Amino acid sequence: MSDASDLPVDEPVGTPGHAVRTLADVNEDALLAEILPVFATGPAALLGPGDDTAVLATTGGSVIATTDTMVRDRDWRDAWSSGRDVGAKVVAQNLADIAAMGGRPTGVLVTVVADPATTVEWVLEVTRGIAAACQESHVAVLGGDLSSAPPGTLMVSITALGSLDGRPPVLRRGARPGDVVAVCGTLGLAAAGWRLLESGREDEDTQAVALQRCPCPPLAQGPLAATAGATSMLDLSDGLLRDATRVARASGVRLALDGSALAPDIRRITPVLGPDLARECVLAGGEEHALLATFPCGIRLPAGWRALGVVEQGDGVTIDGVAEKPRGWDHFSP
């Protein structure tokens, strides 16, 4: 099988003895007939793809729902990410949101909007990436939509559904003065990977580059943190400062972070990017999808979590007492 990352999607090239098919060469039904068998459904899918809607089993009288989209040349570059990477990454981003509520993902819907010049193989690679990521988390692929797009446009969108299993959701607005601020997962590595890819130095930190290509959110830790009593939680998608500021604002509190708690994260990245860029990656780097939560003072943090600071009366985010501006990723004004 050819490596989709080597196929320029909008300029399909032939390989000897094997014509490259594009979406314009196949009709929608034929394409679906290739895609659907790749997806698994699982017990929560009372009805999978193929009808007007899917039917998903729910528990506890509610379903949680979120949606997140990746657009080529905004959220990924073909030169850096294979179709499989893109499929796995868009699933991971969505499931991280489910986990950040303390939820368990149960099903996803997939939308692909693609220039008809897109190769069928690229779409199948996305499909395989989505299928593998869903299967790993026992999530059903419930259905989706295929649409054509203007030349050069390619996007993959996921809606993820999940269950709280009877627990209340862990919101952004529950942090209280005295709580401990804690994180589960790495900080700044995905952003470091992006900088290495951009400067052609992807061999210098393969872990960071792999996390940029596809984050690995600690999904099971979401429900565990909820059970442990987390008072607020979100996943770090737009940078530590920007996301921490969201918790601070929603809860009406200040998140006072310890520089010393962030020092190991900065040191981890310093050898490849230097101390200043490393600090910027840790504080403002997006797409990490670690979980940030607050826990009542005095409880033992669940295994895998580490304290970053405390919640205080006030507003905003400080590091060692110094107010930090909420910087990070913005879709329209980057």
Determine, following the binding rule CB under 8 A, whether residue 146 of this chain makes contact with its own copies. yes
Tell which residue, 280, 256, 284, has the closest CA to residue 266: 280
* Of residues 19 and 300, the one with the C-beta less far from its own copies: 19
Instruction: Output the CA angle 282-194-10, nearest 5 degrees.
Output: 155
Asked whether position 21 contacts its own copies by CB under 8 A, the answer is no
Under the binding rule (CB under 8 A), the answer on residue 162 touching its own copies is yes
104-114 vs 140-148, strand pairing mode? parallel
Any contact of residue 58 with its own copies (CB under 8 A)?
Answer: yes
Q: Are 88 and 129 in contact (CB under 8 A)?
A: yes
Site string for its own copies, 219-258 (x = CB under 8 A): --------------xxx--------------x--------
Among 83, 107, 215, 285, binds its own copies (CB under 8 A): 107
Single residue of 83, 103, 129, 217 touching its own copies by CB under 8 A: 103
Q: How far apart are CA 4 and CA 317, in angstroms?
A: 42
Cβ distance to its own copies smaller for residue 152 or 264? 152
Which region among 204-212, 278-286, 314-322, 324-332 touches its own copies (by CB under 8 A)? 324-332
For residues 207-239, one letter each, b for 16 or more C-beta atoms within 10 angstroms of the residue's C-beta and e for the rest, the string is: ebbbbbbbbbbbbebbbbbbebebbbbbbbbbb
| Between 235 and 287, CB nearer to its own copies | 235
Q: Which of 5, 35, 48, 75 binds its own copies (CB under 8 A)?
A: 75
Residues in the chain: 334
Between residues 100 and 214, which has the closer beta carbon with respect to its own copies? Answer: 100
Q: Are 192 and 208 in contact (CB under 8 A)?
A: yes
* Residue with tokens 């690229």, as numbered in its chain: 122
Q: Is 281 in the site for its own copies (CB under 8 A)?
A: no
> Which position among 28, 136, 276, 320 is part of the footprint of its own copies (CB under 8 A)?
28
Contact 144, 110 (CB under 8 A): yes
* Strands lying side by side in the sheet with 306-312: 232-235, 291-295, 180-184, 306-312, 254-257, 317-319, 322-324
Cβ atoms of 269 and 288 within 8 Å: the answer is no
Work out how close the CB of 82 gets to its own copies at its nearest, in angstroms, rounded to a whole number: 20
Closest contact distance (angstroms) between CB of 3 and its own copies is 24
Span 32-51, contacts to its own copies by CB under 8 A: 46-47, 50-51
Q: Which of 13, 24, 33, 263 binds its own copies (CB under 8 A)?
A: 24
Q: Does 14 help bind its own copies (rule: CB under 8 A)?
A: no
At residue 93, what is the residue type? Q
146 versus 210: smaller Cβ distance to its own copies? 146
Tell me how far apart the terminal alpha carbons of the chain are, to the nearest angstrom: 37
